[in-house]
Amino acid sequence: MQQETTEHAPRAASRVVWAWDVPTRLFHWTLALLILMAWVSRNWGDEGLVWHTWNGYAILILVVWRVLWGFVGTSTARFTSFVAWPWTAARYGIDFVLRRPRHFLGHNPLGGAVVIVMLGMVGAMGVLGLFSYDDHTSIAGGPLSGKVSDEAWALATKWHIWLFDILLWVIGLHIGANIAYRVWKGENLVAAMITGRKEARSYEDEPEARLASPLLALACLVVAAGVVLGGIVAAGGKIL
The pLDDT value recorded for residue 137 is: 52
Model confidence, pTM: 0.89
Q: Which residues contact 130 (CB under 8 A, 6 or more apart)?
A: 56, 142, 143, 144, 145, 232, 237
Mean predicted lDDT score pLDDT of the chain = 88
The pLDDT value recorded for residue 12 is: 42
Q: Residue 49 burial (CB < 10 Å; 0-12/13-18/19+)? A: buried
The model's pLDDT over 7-44, given as tens digits with 9 standing for 90+, comes to: 343 444 569 999 999 999 999 999 999 999 998 988 88
More confident residue, 39 or 47: 39
Of the given ranges (110-124, 146-160, 221-235), which has the lowest mean pLDDT? 146-160
Contacts 24+ apart (CB under 8 A), 155-158: 156/128, 156/129, 156/131, 156/132, 157/128, 157/131, 157/132, 157/133
- Number of C-beta neighbours around residue 16 at 10 A: 14
- Number of C-beta neighbours around residue 24 at 10 A: 23
Predicted confidence band at 100 (pLDDT cuts at 50, 70, 90)? confident
The model's pLDDT over 118-154, given as tens digits with 9 standing for 90+, comes to: 999 999 999 999 998 865 455 667 899 888 888 888 8
Residue range 198-210: average pLDDT?
Answer: 94
The model's pLDDT over 164-182, given as tens digits with 9 standing for 90+, comes to: 999 999 999 889 988 988 8
User: What are the boundaries of each domain within the chain?
Assistant: 29-201+209-234
Predicted confidence band at 80 (pLDDT cuts at 50, 70, 90)? very high
The model's pLDDT over 150-165, given as tens digits with 9 standing for 90+, comes to: 888 889 999 999 999 9
Nearest CA to 81 out of 19, 142, 137, 132 is that of: 19
